Chain A
Amino acid sequence: MGAEPVVKLDGLTVRYGKLIAVDDLSLEVPKGGVFALLGRNGSGKSSTVRCLLGQQRPTAGRSRILGFDSWKKRRRAMERVGVVPENPDVPPDTTADRVEKFIARVTPFWRSANYFDRLESLGVPRKQRFAKLSKGQQRQLALAIALAGSPRLLVLDDPTLGLDAVARQKLYEELVGELADRGTTVFLTTHDLAGVEGIADRVGVLQGGSLLVDEPLEVLKARYCRLTWTPTDDIPPERIQAALQHLGVIGAGATEGANEAVVEKFSEFGFDRFRQEAPVEVMRVDSLSLEEIFIALCGTEPGGRS
């Protein structure tokens, strides 16, 4: 038997009346990994995170953090969990100092020095009310709170929302640094696909509450490719289309002087078969960025792939 995963969702389902927000979602995040849960707005990410943190009771299924049921044993589960919410929820009338006084009393593994050092290094004022801080400072404060509790799991719900490019880069660099130091597991939801591409080692994509993809980022990126070939009159388009099926074509089109296809099952073997059955002159085989893969998966319509 392997080690207990840090995060385990088992048949998680969330309904709001007739609307199914999360549909039978199951996934596991092993210790030390960075898991990025991606999805369009309304795909069920926030409901999943709320269930994961024990803030919302799922309609069916269950979620576990560090082996604890996050609804029934939320208090135990949250002892070693740091949370950076989508919208920083620190009481607006309080200061960083007062927040520390409160959290230090209720968090068993709290490290005040770590907290204050972090605030100092980031230049977050300790005596200023939270509502008066800039958005970036509010997020830095939220991150400082999340990390000062010596978490084994860090849950980041769209942590870069509202941050500029520099601040986003800084945040990710810090996260990577912290992770390297502590071996903390990260569960991340974000719309910042470019940013997360550098730090996530596993990706899940939610669409309409269902999990479309759950695999290591490297594997995902290896599967998704864009083929570009020179058009020819010798080989009819139907034959090329049939040959592309071996690579799991999900989209095709033409640009000036070249034809393109995006495939989701790229492999050396499949590529060889494609070339045997449709001996076109392939100009390029390009890997897709995470953003391109995401668009290919989720498309522009609510229903998914375009």
Chain B
Amino acid sequence: MKATMAIMAREVSARRELLLLAVAVAFIICFLPFLPNIETYEATDVRTVASSVSALALGCLLALLLGATVFGNDLSEGRLGFFFARPVSGLAVWRGRVLAVMTLVWIVEIIVLAPALYHEGIHIFTSSDGADWLTILAYVIAPLLLFLLAHAVSILVRAGTPWMILDLGGAIVVAVFVWLNLRPVFEIGAPIALWVVAGALVAALLISLAVGGASGVAVGRVDLRRAHSAQSLALWSTMAICLAAITVYGSWLRDFGPRDFSDVEVMSVATDGSWVEAVGGAKGRLDVKRRYLLSTTANRWLPLPAQVGWERFERVAVYSRDGSTAVWRGGGPVEEPRLLWWADLGRPDPMARPTNLVVSPEAPLTLSVDGARLAVIEGGIVSVYELGEERLLKAIRLPEDLQRAAVVFIDPNTLQLFARLDVDDAESVLIAEIEVATGELVRIGVIPGLGEITWFAVDAALEHMVVSTRSEGDLVSERRLHDAKSGALIRNLDVAGFLRFLEDGRMVLTSESDDGSVTLVVDPVEGEGRIVHTMRAAVGSRVLGEVVPNGVIVAHLVDPSDRTQGIRIALFDVDTGEIRNIGSHLRGPVRWFPRQNGVAMGFFWHCDQPAASRLFIDQSGALVRWDPESGKLIHVVGGRE
């Protein structure tokens, strides 16, 4: 260390004129605001900006120049022997000179930053969140990286040995590895992991360049050609080790299964059956989330692309009504068309299978009740495929006014189409039926002049539909019940709370009073038999879906004054009003996301999601399901700790 410090002191002393240069630059910056054309700006702003930019620019420029010359010139001119004729190690020579150069560069940066520091103080290194590490690293690390890079390139160019081939090859391989390591983390949309991996790659570059440079000096000593060979060998072997470690770490970050989930989000739930689409993170994996199609009753899962759009919380899978089939878009660039995948969930051991179909990210997908057929609306054309055979059955071009549409299979050969149409700032819904075999489209109904449609829902039998609309400037939406075929208005619904169709076609409408009581109306839709229940429940009560025939889940806070206690859930019989506790201290019901049939249609969902209402997230973040047979909550994945 004594030798290192001695060399460092000598080198700093030899280049002390650089400090005078920095003082001169700082001096000029102080007088910048008085220059013509600049005097109109705020003097402190001018000095702060000028000194911040100049400090970084000068630091980087000096690092580049010194990196290219400090060792390179001495090696070329045979002057490095001066140090190697002394009892000092090659490493001390390297360390001493690098420390000297970097000390000089950092002091130069501080001197040039002095005007900014005088006006802004330490705030130039802070942001609203605390220390601005990116700025600090830019001043500290960027010059160091440039110095080491310039040194390596300088030795490479001056020596011009065949090791240059290794250098060029190594640079290409490193570029490929950087791409291979960053791309997957970028695609899964994990910014923290992306920063960590990118930071690790920069650190790897720094370490490799430092080791390569040190080895070049320590092993090559006064021989430029040998310095180059030693540098290349050490640089690229260190880089290989670092890249291998980063690649392993990156793979570990990304590759984990549902069993590793520590927290779970449910994105979609098959209407029937046990399959859900779950997204979860795992312990130590930073903000990386993986997405799986998994069975809540059996130990089976299929991987899904982690991120499918710019929005993280977006569902991927689309299910058939009977829950036997799922289709989804594969991974790829966010706005590019993707390959379509599907799985037969009815098989004991389902497998993800690619199709030969490529669909755009926004194209609405609809499966027939049994999952045998798939309808895709894309470019104003409804294409119907035989999914198993990947065969196009029919492509039906939609009329101009029906192109913002969603379709639902009535039966394998008939589609019902719902389309939105803007007329004079009011939206209408057009209803049509399409015969798949012939491609014939028949308009069967219309719901005219609705204002802005926020969502609409259709019952399982496609007989009734509720349309939620909002007039311009209104915060509260209106809901109307219509005939799902003709579009005829049945009546206005005077509730703003929970609304859902039961399996038997009836509707459940709820509203919450200020005193915490919940009024639940079971509406037969047509005819007599309206049932009204009033439940005394805690504030924040929510009525969820139909988990068993005529049974809905009611959830409310265990302790309204302490939300950390979680929720309590009960099974409510909509006919008798009987209520039965089934669990408590849960974090909440799963947040399933309704099928989004394209931006044009807004939210549209065909029938209820009874299976979703049986799923909850417990206090540990685990996904649990309520089992109607045993009446117990059963752990599925995640949480545990």
Given contacts A89-B78, A106-B3, A106-B6, contact A56 B226 (CB under 8 A): yes
A107 within 8 A of B: yes
B3: A residues at CB distance < 8 A: 105-106
B82 within 8 A of A: yes
B80: A residues at CB distance < 8 A: 89
A75: B residues at CB distance < 8 A: 87-89
Q: Report Cα–Cα, A144/B212, bound state, in Å.
A: 35
- Most chain A Cβ neighbours within 10 Å, of B5, B13, B82, B85: B85
A245 within 8 A of B: no
Main secondary structure of the interface of B (DSSP, over half): helix
The answer on a CB contact under 8 Å between B78 and A102 is no
Q: How far is the CB of B86 from chain A (nearest CB, A)?
A: 5
Partner of B86, one of A87, A94, A101, A107: A107
Among residues 87 to 144 in chain A, which have CB atoms less than 8 Å away from a CB atom of chain B?
87, 89-94, 98, 101-103, 105-108
B122 within 8 A of A: no
Q: Report Cα–Cα, A226/B88, bound state, in Å.
A: 50
Among residues 59 to 104 in chain B, which have CB atoms less than 8 Å away from a CB atom of chain A?
78-82, 84-89
The answer on a CB contact under 8 Å between B82 and A89 is yes
Among residues 182 to 233 in chain B, which have CB atoms less than 8 Å away from a CB atom of chain A?
219, 221-223, 226
Q: How far is the CB of A139 from chain B (nearest CB, A)?
A: 14
What is the number of residues of chain B that contact chain A, defined by CB distance less than 8 Å? Answer: 25
Q: Report Cα–Cα, A79/B563, bound state, in Å.
A: 74
A83 within 8 A of B: yes
Q: B80's closest neighbor in chain A, by CB?
A: A89
B79: A residues at CB distance < 8 A: 89, 91-92
Q: Report Cα–Cα, A57/B90, bound state, in Å.
A: 13
B347 within 8 A of A: no
The answer on a CB contact under 8 Å between B87 and A56 is no
B10 within 8 A of A: yes
A54 within 8 A of B: yes
A29 within 8 A of B: no
| Range, interface on chain A | 20 to 34
B7: A residues at CB distance < 8 A: 102, 106
Q: Tell me the number of A-to-B contacts counted with CB atoms below 8 Å.
A: 75
Q: How far is the CB of A52 from chain B (nearest CB, A)?
A: 11
The answer on a CB contact under 8 Å between A83 and B85 is yes
Among residues 5 to 41 in chain B, which have CB atoms less than 8 Å away from a CB atom of chain A?
5-7, 9-10, 13-14
Among residues 279 to 302 in chain A, which have CB atoms less than 8 Å away from a CB atom of chain B?
none
Given contacts A75-B89, A102-B10, contact A55 B221 (CB under 8 A): yes
The answer on a CB contact under 8 Å between B81 and A79 is no
B86: A residues at CB distance < 8 A: 78, 103, 106-107
Given contacts A105-B2, A106-B3, contact A85 B81 (CB under 8 A): yes
Q: A108's closest neighbor in chain B, by CB?
A: B87
Q: Report Cα–Cα, A106/B9, bound state, in Å.
A: 12
The answer on a CB contact under 8 Å between A98 and B222 is no
Q: A93's closest neighbor in chain B, by CB?
A: B14
A54: B residues at CB distance < 8 A: 84, 221
A305 within 8 A of B: no
Q: Report Cα–Cα, A165/B3, bound state, in Å.
A: 39
A50 within 8 A of B: yes
Q: Report Cα–Cα, A278/B5, bound state, in Å.
A: 74
The answer on a CB contact under 8 Å between A78 and B82 is no
Partner of A89, one of B6, B10, B81: B81
Smallest CB-CB A-B distances: 10 pairs: A105-B6, A83-B85, A89-B82, A78-B87, A102-B10, A79-B87, A89-B79, A55-B222, A89-B81, A55-B84
| 15 contacting pairs across A/B (C-beta < 8 A) | A53-B81, A54-B221, A55-B81, A57-B226, A74-B89, A75-B88, A76-B87, A78-B86, A78-B87, A79-B87, A83-B81, A91-B10, A98-B10, A101-B10, A105-B6
Which residues of A does B touch, CB under 8 Å? 50, 53-57, 74-79, 81, 83, 85, 87, 89-94, 98, 101-103, 105-108
